[in-house]
Structure formats: C-alpha cells, structure tokens
Amino acid sequence: MVKKNKKSGKKLFGFLKSVSFQRLIALFITFLALSTMVAYEAAPKKYKLAIGSVSQYDINAPRDIENTLKTRENAELKAAGLKPVIVPIEGANDSITSGAYAYFDGISNLLNQVRNSEQKEDLATLIQEYDRGNNYSVLIQIPEDKLLTLLTDESEILRLKTVVINSVLPGIKRKQLMEENLGSEKEAALAQVRTVFDDESIQLIAKDLLDKVIVPNSRIDEKATEEERNALFETAVKESPVIIYKDERIISKDEIVTEDKFQVLKELNYIDSEGKPDYLLYIAVFMLIFAMYFLTMLYLKNFHKKLYYDKNAVMLVGVSIIIACLFALLFREFIPDYAPLIIPTLVAPVITSIFLGIQPAIAVNMLLTFSFALMLGGNTQFIFMSLIGGTIAPYLTVNATQRRKISLAGVMLGGINLLVVVLTGMLEKKGVESLLNEGGLAFVNGIFSIILAIGILPFLESTFNVITPMKLLELADPNHPLLKRLLMEAPGTYHHSLMVGNLAEVATREIGGNSLLSRVGAYFHDIGKLKRPHYFKENQMAENPHDNLTASTSSRLIISHTRDGEELALKYKLPRVIRDMIVQHHGNTVMVYFYHKATQNGNGEELNEADFRYQGPLPDTREAAVVMLADSVEAAVRAMPDKTHAKIEGLVRKIIKDKLDDGQLDRCDLTLKDLTIIAESFLKVLSGIFHERPVYPEFEKKNDFKELDNRIYNLPNGQAKEGVPNQNGSNSLQPAENTKSSPGNHKPS
C-alpha cells in the first residue's frame, strides 16, 4: 500500500512538473485574467448617492436608457391638461325656459294683486304681503315712483319677457352651463339685456330673473374623463418617452440628485445601496469569455498544433493578451470617454504575429475584439476599428526585419483606424468636428500600439526565449562573437557554414518557411567544432589526428560536436530554436565512414551500431530539416572529385532520399513535393558555385613567377621588374641590386 502511495505521489509530482501541466496552468491563468478584467470593467461602477444629496461625480449613460419617472411626469401633465368630458343634463334647458315663463307669470300676477288691492298700505308692504314665497323681493328694491309706473303700465315687463325668451335664453341654452362658468354666463346674458333696456328697474328684474332661471345644463362625466385621460397617459408614455442617450450626461458634479435621476442610476445598477456584486452579470461575462476563449484555443489546437502544445508559445500568447487587458484597464480608468478609440488593442496581434505568425495573431485579435466589446458596452467604432486594424496588422509586421518597417506599419495602421472610425461615424450621422477628433485619436492609437509593441519585444524575447526577425539579423551579423571565433579558430567550418546557410536560405524560402531562421541556424549549426577544430577535415592543414585513433574514439569525438555546440549556444545565450537546430542537424544518422573503418579493423568483436549514431533528436521543424539536408549536401558535393551538373544532381537527390528512408525527416512536416523543391533549390545554388570555368593554358605552362614576369612584362630572361613579386612571394620595391644582395630573395639567373 505504501509503495502504491509512493508511486502515485511520484506520478502526481511528475505531472505537476511536466510541460503539459505548466501549459494548462498558463491557459487557465490567461482565461482567468482576461475574464476577470473584462468583467470588472463591464460591471457598472457603484456610486454612493441619495435623493437630495449633491453628486460628486459626472456620470454618463453607458447606453440608451429611459427616464421613466420623467416620462410619467410628462404624461401626467399632458393627461391633466386634457379637457374633461362634458355631457348635457337632461331637461335642464327646458327647465330654464319654463322657469322664465313662470317668473314672468308670477310677477304679472303679483302686480295685478297689488294693483287691485283695496288696502291703503304702501307698495312695498303690499308686495311683501302678496309675495308669500318671497320670490319677487327684487320689486322692493325698485323706487316707488318706478314701481307705480310698472303697476300702471306692464309693457316694459312684457318687452323684457320677449327679449329674454326669444333672444337671450336661446343663446344661453346652446352653451355648456356648469357651476364653474354659470356666473360668467349670467353676466353675459345680463349684459345682452342691458344693451336693450336702459331702465335700471327693468335691469334689476332681468338680473333677478336670470339668476333664478339660468341653471347648469351640463356636467363633467368623471368616468369618461378618467378613461380618456388614462388613454392619453398611456399613449404619451409609449410615444413620448424621455430618453437619456448613450454617452449623454445623466448627472453632473455638484448637481442635486433628483428622484427621477436617482431612479435612472438605480436602474443602471449604479447606486451602491447594498454593496452587493452583480453576480448574474459576472456569470454572463465569464460564460461569454469562456466560449470565445475555448473557440480560439480549439482553432489553435486543430490548425497550429505545435504552437498549442508549446509551453513558451502558449505563455507568450497569454502574456500578450494580459498586456492588452492591462492597457485597456488603464485607459478605461483614467480617460474613459476616449477609451474605445485609444485602447491599444493592436499590441497583442502585432506581438503574436512577429513571434508566432499571422493566423494565430488574427485569432488572438478576434478574441480580444469581442472581449473588449463587452467591456466597452458594444461600442460599434471600437469593434470595427479593432477587427479591421487587428486583422491587417499581422500582415504588415509578420516578416518585419527592421524596426523602421514596423514603425511604418504603425503609420499605416493609424491611417486604417482613422478611415474606419470616420466611416462608422458617418453611419451614425456625426458632425465633421467629431469625426476629425475621433479620427485623430484612432490614428494616434495605431502609432501608439506599434511603439508599445516595439518596446515590449525585447523583454518577451529574453523571457520566453523566442526569436524575431530583428533578433535573427543581429545573430547573422559576422561580428557576432561566436562567428568571429569560428572564422579565426575553425575557418574551414566557418566557410562551410556560410555555404550551408546559402543553400538552406534559398530552399526554405522556396517551400514557404522562415528562410532567415534557416540561414542563421546554418551559421551556428557547427559551432561545437570549436572545441576540437582540428579533428574535422575542413580545418586540417597537416596531419589527420584520426589516423592515430580508433574508429570508436573518432566517432565519439565527432558525435560530441552537437552537444558541445549546445553548450556553447547556452553560454552565448543563443535562442532555443537555434540550439535545437544545433543538436538536430545530424538527427540520429550513422557515421558510416567510422563504422565501416571499425568493421574493417575489428578483432572479430561484434560492433554496436548505436555507438556510431548521433544522439539526435530528429529535426522537428522544416527549417531544421532543411539545415540538415543542406549540411549533408554541401559536405558531400565539396568532397566530389568531378563536379559535373549531372553528378551533383544525382548526389543531391540520393542524399535527400537516404535521409527520408532512414527516417530522419519523420518529425518535420515536409512533404514529398517540398523535398523535390528543396533538391531543385540546392541544385540552383550549387550550379552557381561549381559551374564549369574556362581553362587558362597560358598560365598553366608557367613553371615559376620569374618566367611569368618575363612573359607579362616582355623582359629578357634574367631581368626582374621593380615592384613585381619575386619567387618567394615578397613584393619588393627595392632596386635590383639590393634585391640581389638580400639573402633569401630570388636571384635572377
């Protein structure tokens, strides 16, 4: 049981230390960082505000939102302004007419009674006595002389009756008489009477009449009025909402918080009343980010397997994403109004394209574009600018070998951003001034993104041991310490490496690989020979030390140059990809020469072929495989005695076929078509190097420099030309006699 626990513990510990686990951790940390930062910015900020308090913030609307309280308030005002529904009172107009007739009949009867009375009281007393209901008390207010006139002559009262019943009352009855306007309508009717009668007594009777007979003939239908007002209210709410548009100011600093604005902020979840996080929003953001992140990684896994399973590549992608997120947070925090136009989202695709290629960069840009769109509330300008600019950026920077070219790409990307922002602004009907301001910010964004990318590149190169075209150009500099050592200590190997570099560069370019990487890898592939340069044929000027060694010892010394090269590469801090080429450029091929020598000189002992094989590993990239083939081809062709085109072609194709048959190319993704292209590229370069030259028979006949000098300068035998090289190779400018007396110099015969 204890042993099992120990075994499982070792397995777990081994898994935790494995590259796969580290890669998974990098993927998880990247997702967690991206989703957390986006969710943090996507969640609305909380403000400590209350109704009646003074705002300490300028708060803009993140989206179009309705001020519902203001909408309802306006609708209520509109509904309240609606005139009430007025309906006629049944029989009211008839009552007015009948009341008028009754009034005149009554006053006529009263006057008759007073007139016919035998009592001797004054008129006022008689009127009061006969007017039991006190309906005509107005007569008491009339002066007695005027009253006597009315008693003797009722013609004026009859004329008043005619005017009121035929002229005044018909007009009055056509109006909507209600308690609210009854007094004014009575005054209007009385004024009409006064235009006809100047007698104040008649006017008093008319006023009393109108006050008593004119009654309301209409009323407000409360139910119908309420229904109409409710209908108008609902219509106003639907058709005339008070909208606070996106980016419009909700409340300004030092402004008092009103109830309607407080409700708007509360609806946006901006009020920090309870301090609880919006868990639903966080869940939604995390799920959306996870979906986009999963699709991005799925794409990389299916179409860029090597990158997906490379820990350094995954970590590089993660760091570029996190860097972009950090800049997004920074700009959102300090310049939120301009953040959509100034966030340098192009940093991530530019870095990814330079290190890993175009397609991974576009995938990363898609992920960041839609992730940041959540952060920015779906800003249309940002989405189009980031999507278009971030897709073009990798094509402009992927093979940039100079920082100047990358800087130029920044200007071009700025122009693209400007164009996209102006076009989207035109769709939104923005003004010219707004378009110019936003376009200028977008232009600066393109340049700023490239500046950031250039500044970050060196740190990423050293941290993740990855390589850029600019770094490759630095390594290809002949003044590099290792290359200078190679030239001085192993000149034959140096020139061999240059030749291999030429072959590898052309072939890799033809198959669509990284030709600069192949050339630089070829320059350094044999640096391990610096440890024992004279054990390699190209550096031997005199005796061959292998003549005094056994075949097995020689093979060990030769095989060790790959590992020695790796040690030197580590010492000089060469990138990992170059170190891989150094240890892979022989794969696990057999050293046929020494193996054959061992079999010939053996004592009957069985030889182990593995002792004569390089330790590998096999080339795992197209570039490393091309360097392997170029190395073998260059060495073999150089050793050929008769370098005709046909023989070179046969040898090149044989070497490539042998490598293929031996399984040396099993781990790289070269196709048979690629191998054919590589062979043709090698032949093109080799034919330029080993082409046939014309024979110069005149020079071949000369036996020494003296005879050649005489022939060239048309001198008689025995006379030397001043300043002409003598036989031992010196270039003397001394007079002839001094040359003759100098010991060791050539003496003319």
Structural domain contains residue 55: no
Contact at 8 Å (CB) between 145 and 211?
no
Q: Is the pLDDT of residue 704 over 80?
A: no
Confidence of residue 323 (pLDDT cuts 50, 70, 90): very high
Helix (H, G, I), strand (E, B) or coil at 59: strand
Residues 541 and 658 in one domain: yes
Q: How far is residue 548's CA from residue 387's CA, in Å, rounded to a whole number? A: 68
Q: How far is residue 243's CA from residue 486's CA, in Å, rounded to a whole number? A: 76
Q: What angle do CA 218, 224, 230 make, to 5 degrees?
A: 140
Which of 370 and 128 is assigned the larger pLDDT?
370
Residues 541 and 660 in one domain: yes
Q: What is the residue whose two structure tokens read 């009957």?
A: 604
Chain centroid to CA 175: how far?
A: 72
Answer with the one of 451, 466, 481 that is the final residue of a domain.
466
Amino acid at 269: N
Q: How far is residue 525's CA from residue 561's CA, in Å, rounded to a whole number? A: 10
Query: 540 CB contacts (<8 Å, ≥6 apart)?
Result: 492, 534
CATH code, domain with 416: 1.10.1760
Helix (H, G, I), strand (E, B) or coil at 120: coil
Q: Are strands 59-60 and 86-88 parallel, antiparallel or unpaired?
A: unpaired
- In this structure, of 46-60, 340-354, 496-510, the range with the lowest mean pLDDT score is 46-60
Q: Which residues pair with 613 in a beta bridge?
A: 590
Q: How far is residue 467's CA from residue 462's CA, in Å, rounded to a whole number? A: 9
Q: pLDDT value at position 157?
A: 87
Report the 10 Å Cβ neighbour count for 123: 18
Domain count within the chain:
4
Residue 446, phi then psi, degrees to nearest 5: -60, -45
Q: What angle do CA 563, 616, 586 make, to 5 degrees?
A: 85
Q: How far is residue 293's CA from residue 289's CA, in Å, rounded to a whole number? A: 6
Q: Is the pLDDT of residue 27 over 60?
A: yes
Using a pLDDT cut of 70, give the percent of the chain over it.
88
Q: How far is residue 503's CA from residue 684's CA, in Å, rounded to a whole number? A: 9
Q: pLDDT value at position 615?
A: 85
CATH code, domain with 596: 1.10.3210.10
Q: How far is residue 715's CA from residue 475's CA, in Å, rounded to a whole number? A: 53
Residues 492 and 443 in one domain: no
Residues 294 and 430 in one domain: yes
Concatenated DSSP letters for 447-458?
HHHHHHHHHHHH
Answer with the one of 433, 466, 499 that is the final residue of a domain.
466
Q: How far is residue 274's CA from residue 430's CA, in Å, rounded to a whole number? A: 39
Q: Is the pLDDT of residue 709 over 60?
A: no
Confidence of residue 748 (pLDDT cuts 50, 70, 90): very low
Which of 279 and 214 is assigned the larger pLDDT?
214
Structural domain contains residue 107: yes
Mean pLDDT of 697-725: 50
**The tokens of 744 are what?**
């060791």
**The tokens of 362 are what?**
């576009």
Whole-Å CA distances, 462 to 326, 467, 576: 21, 9, 11
Which of 684 and 697 is assigned the larger pLDDT?
684
The closest alpha carbon to 107, from 212, 193, 23, 8, belongs to 212
Stated pTM of the model: 0.64
Helix (H, G, I), strand (E, B) or coil at 69: helix
Residues 390 and 527 in one domain: no
Q: pLDDT value at position 697?
A: 56
Structural domain contains residue 13: no
Which of 702 and 140 is assigned the larger pLDDT?
140
**The tokens of 503 are what?**
């072959």
Q: pLDDT value at position 55?
A: 86
Range of the domain at 167: 86-220
Question: Residues 650-682, buried b or exposed e (16+ Cβ, 10 A)?
Answer: ebbbebbeebeeeebbebbebeeebbebbbebb
Helix (H, G, I), strand (E, B) or coil at 90: coil
**pLDDT tens per residue, range 171-226:** 988 888 888 888 999 999 999 999 998 888 888 889 988 988 999 998 888 899 89
Q: What is the residue whose two structure tokens read 């320059």?
A: 523
Query: 715 CB contacts (<8 Å, ≥6 apart)?
Result: 709, 721
Q: Which residues pair with 590 in a beta bridge?
A: 613
Q: How far is residue 586's CA from residue 616's CA, in Å, rounded to a whole number? A: 7
Residue 251, phi then psi, degrees to nearest 5: -150, 145
**The tokens of 433 are what?**
């001034």
Q: Report which secondary-structure segment, H or E, holds 218.
A: strand 218-220
Structural domain contains residue 299: yes
- In this structure, of 518-532, 541-555, 685-699, the range with the lowest mean pLDDT score is 685-699
Residues 516 and 450 in one domain: no
Residue 700, phi then psi, degrees to nearest 5: -70, -25
Q: Where are the alpha helices (DSSP H) in 587-731?
A: 592-601, 622-638, 645-661, 672-689, 697-700, 705-713
Average pLDDT taken over every residue of the chain: 84
For CA atoms 698, 703, 705, 709, the dihedral sign is negative
Residues 668 and 731 in one domain: no
Confidence of residue 422 (pLDDT cuts 50, 70, 90): very high
Structural domain contains residue 37: no
Query: 115 CB contacts (<8 Å, ≥6 apart)?
Result: 151
- The span from the first CA to the last CA of the chain, in angstroms, equals 100
Contact at 8 Å (CB) between 739 and 726?
yes
Q: pLDDT value at position 10?
A: 63
Answer with the one of 672, 689, 706 that is the final residue of a domain.
689
Contact at 8 Å (CB) between 358 and 66?
no
Residues 451 and 591 in one domain: no
Structural domain contains residue 10: no
Q: pLDDT value at position 739?
A: 34
Amino acid at 325: C
Q: How far is residue 584's CA from residue 627's CA, in Å, rounded to a whole number? A: 9
Whole-Å CA distances, 218 to 166, 178, 296, 697: 21, 6, 77, 138
- In this structure, of 16-25, 347-356, 406-415, 580-589, the range with the lowest mean pLDDT score is 16-25
**pLDDT tens per residue, range 459-511:** 888 788 778 888 888 899 999 999 999 999 999 999 999 999 999 999 999 99
The closest alpha carbon to 417, from 389, 454, 395, belongs to 389
Confidence of residue 696 (pLDDT cuts 50, 70, 90): low
Neighbouring C-alpha atoms within 13 Å toward the C-beta of 300: 26
Helix (H, G, I), strand (E, B) or coil at 593: helix
Structural domain contains residue 245: no
Residues 496 and 394 in one domain: no
Contact at 8 Å (CB) between 82 and 228?
yes
**pLDDT tens per residue, range 559-598:** 889 999 999 999 998 988 999 999 999 998 988 777 777 7
Residue 714, phi then psi, degrees to nearest 5: 60, 45
Contact at 8 Å (CB) between 351 and 394?
no
Residue 532, phi then psi, degrees to nearest 5: -140, 70
Residue 198, phi then psi, degrees to nearest 5: -95, -20
Mean pLDDT of 49-53: 86
Residues 385 and 295 in one domain: yes
Residues 209 and 306 in one domain: no
Query: 98 CB contacts (<8 Å, ≥6 apart)?
Result: none
Contact at 8 Å (CB) between 340 and 324?
no
**Of the ranges 330-344, 614-628, 707-721, 728-742, the best mean pLDDT one:** 614-628
Structural domain contains residue 269: no
Residue 87, phi then psi, degrees to nearest 5: -125, 150
Residues 533 and 647 in one domain: yes
**pLDDT tens per residue, range 131-180:** 777 788 888 888 888 878 887 788 888 898 899 999 999 998 888 888 88
